Amino acid sequence: MKKGIRLVVGLLVGLGVVGTVTTASANSYSVKSGRSYNSRVVRSKGWRLWNQPYTKSATAKGKTGSLKGKLVQVDQVAKKGQTTYFQISRRGHNYGWINAKGLKTTAKYVLPYTYTSQLYPLHAPNACEAASLKMALSVKGIATKTSLKTIIDKMPKSKSPAKGFTGNPYTESRPGETRTIYPAPLTAYAKTYDSKAKNITGASKSTLIRAVKRGNAVIFAGAWRMQGQRPYHVLALVGYKNGKFLVADPYMEKGWPNKVYWTSTNNFIKVYHSRHSRAVEID
């Protein structure tokens, strides 16, 4: 086997594209990461999914079926001439490779999160960071069976929020008191679940939009219902559409409406900046 072909084969195997790659398929496509691509929507039920970018030796993994109309991440991109294949995933599940024509771009991004409240069934009025982390992780299909209590109790504790969570998450704060954990230790803790988590404190509006479009939720410092006069609070950013962010607010009782809501990007950024632009991205 020629040296150039061996390198391409090794790259594809190392990236987990396929267990084995034929010389023909490896030599046909140029493969690169797709994580700079925006998420896309599956057009219909009938598109075939493959174990590798399509060649005669590719094995079908099924069809898009229930993925129709759903937002999927682009993990890798393979190109050969005018033909493009995307390796796609949703909630952390790799569905395989699809012809790029089977996906369409969108102007509305709602990430596949699972809502978590810090007030029910577990009552933890100062566990907004843990509840927001659990929601952000759910977008990647991570820790879905891990209880909120476990995430709270394993979070690092400290007298300084720059090192860990301060105070008791299961009781109410005293007037003027803020119990929290800052992004650096929160990111370190998030990495125990998702090694790609990163501290993006100071991120601009365009950076936050780009994160969501790529399929990544963001844990950020804000205020309840994103009303700036409210006390310090941590929430999850789980969507974007023109001029608006979708916010999942964990401080909600079971019967309260609008637990997840759209707010203008201008209002979001105003409140976010007033909280020192603290943010953690789950990649």
According to the model, what pLDDT value does residue 27 have? 53
Site of tokens 């398929």: 25
Q: Spell out the residues 6+ positions from residue 249 whose beta carbon is closer than 8 angstroms to its own.
A: 224, 225, 226, 233, 235, 259, 260, 261
Site of tokens 């195997």: 13
In this structure, what are the phi and psi dihedrals at residue 78, rounded to the nearest 5 degrees? -125, 130
According to the model, what pLDDT value does residue 177 have? 86
Q: What is the mean pLDDT of the chain?
A: 92
Using an 8 Å Cβ cutoff, are 155 and 189 in contact?
yes
For 207-233, give the DSSP string: HHHHHHHTT-EEEEEEEGGG-TTSPEE
Q: Spell out the residues 6+ positions from residue 61 whose beta carbon is closer than 8 angstroms to its own.
A: 49, 50, 51, 95, 96
Using an 8 Å Cβ cutoff, are 46 and 63 in contact?
yes
Which stretches of the chain score pLDDT less than 50?
Answer: 1-26
> Token digits for 149?
């209590």
- Domains of the chain by start residue, with CATH: 3-106 (2.30.30.170), 110-282 (3.90.70.10)
According to the model, what pLDDT value does residue 7 have? 38
Q: Whole-angstrom Cα distance, residue 61 to residue 52?
A: 10
Q: Whole-angstrom Cα distance, residue 209 to residue 226?
A: 17
According to the model, what pLDDT value does residue 155 have? 98
Convert the pLDDT of each residue in 116-137 to its tens digit.
999 999 999 999 999 999 999 9
Virtual CA dihedral for 256, 260, 266, 267, nearest 10 degrees?
20
Using an 8 Å Cβ cutoff, are 260 and 115 in contact?
yes
For 92-145, give the DSSP string: TEEEEEEEGGGEE--SEEE-------SSSSS--TT-HHHHHHHHHHHTTT-STT
